[in-house]
Amino acid sequence: MILYCRAGFEGECAQEIAARAATFESFGHVRAARDSGFVEFVTTSALGPNGLSQLADPRTMIFARQALAVIAQLNGLPTQDRVTPILAALRERDTRWADVIVEAPDTNDGKALAPFCRSFGNALVGAMKKARLIDTAAPQRLHAFFPQSDKVYLCTGDTVRASPWPQGIPRLKFPREAPSRSTLKLDEAFLVLLDDDERARWLKPGMTAVDLGAAPGGWTWQLVRRSIRVAAVDNGPMDAALMDSGLVTHVRADGFRYRPPKPVDWLVCDMVEQPRRVATLIAQWFAEGLCRRAIFNLKLPMKKRFEETRLCLDLLAEALDAKADIRAKQLYHDREEITVFAQAG
């Protein structure tokens, strides 16, 4: 399998897939190069289609943006004709694909391949249509992953489980009206951690929220644009235009001490603080019945980031009831952090 991740987090991605494989009693080994932007997991045991899909489900992984089963690896592709050997490898499988994505790692070298991926993608799609290898109703999508221009991993991803975005990254545009670029973190969190139905039901106008560590208002802005009333808790100044919306109450207080007068629909938090302290704070809000759902960031340490992630999520799971829903992901707009969604059962 190939797993895409943030450059520099290959080790954490490798630890995560190894831990998951152990729970499936899947034997294999991991190959990961620092700053490559991807990890290989080579399994030596047969899992079957369902087991493989569950093991390689990026929706439930933290450090993997995308997770795909490799069906062929081609090296030394001729620059004058890459399509022919790829088609030959695909024909051997007697399979059709719903769509094709040609992509490269999210690294500086990968960015240099972006023009090639765009032009070659058009050529490959055209050739596959001519060879009748495209069927929009097929359950699998083909990913042609190029770590370099003469090497490709041909991968297959379930159209439901696998991320639908190239490189597993939703491309979001920074709204000029937002007071800070941190607004993109919450925008991406809503898109990646919630599905369409959940966004429709849980982000309704008139709902209430608390934003801890709100200033200048990047996360508050995402709530206000959805007509949600926000108590913005921070001793720092809030964006003036945001305050003019009439939906924001600026509370000058310590985010770790503040408690709302009555329960709110959402708690959001992007404070720069030790991850365990933030996880404990969120757990206290749920224990006191002060919020229905929460999205928050955990700033990871420089070392033992995977271990700290597990410790914080386990702490939260132990504090909530057994039916709690906890989802976590290192988003594209995150850096040395992960974003977590939590909801009590």
What pLDDT is attached to residue 323? 85
What is the Cα–Cα distance from 264 to 270, expressed in whole angstroms? 17
Q: Domains, the chain, ranges and CATH? A: 2-167 (3.30.2130.30), 183-343 (3.40.50.150)
Total-model pTM: 0.94
Q: What's the average model confidence in pLDDT over 313-338?
A: 94
pLDDT-based confidence at residue 21 (cuts at 50, 70, 90): confident
Catalytic, 329? Answer no
pLDDT-based confidence at residue 57 (cuts at 50, 70, 90): confident
Catalytic residue among 111, 185, 299, 304: 299
pLDDT-based confidence at residue 321 (cuts at 50, 70, 90): confident
Helices 114-130 and 83-91: crossing angle in degrees, nearest 10, is 50
Residue type, 195: D
What pLDDT is attached to residue 137? 96
pLDDT in tens, 65-106: 999 999 999 999 999 999 999 999 999 988 999 999 999 999
User: Is the model's pLDDT at 52 over the cut of 70?
Assistant: no
**Number of C-beta neighbours around residue 246 at 10 A:** 8
What pLDDT is attached to residue 94? 85
Mean residue pLDDT across the chain: 94
Q: What's the average model confidence in pLDDT over 122-138?
A: 96
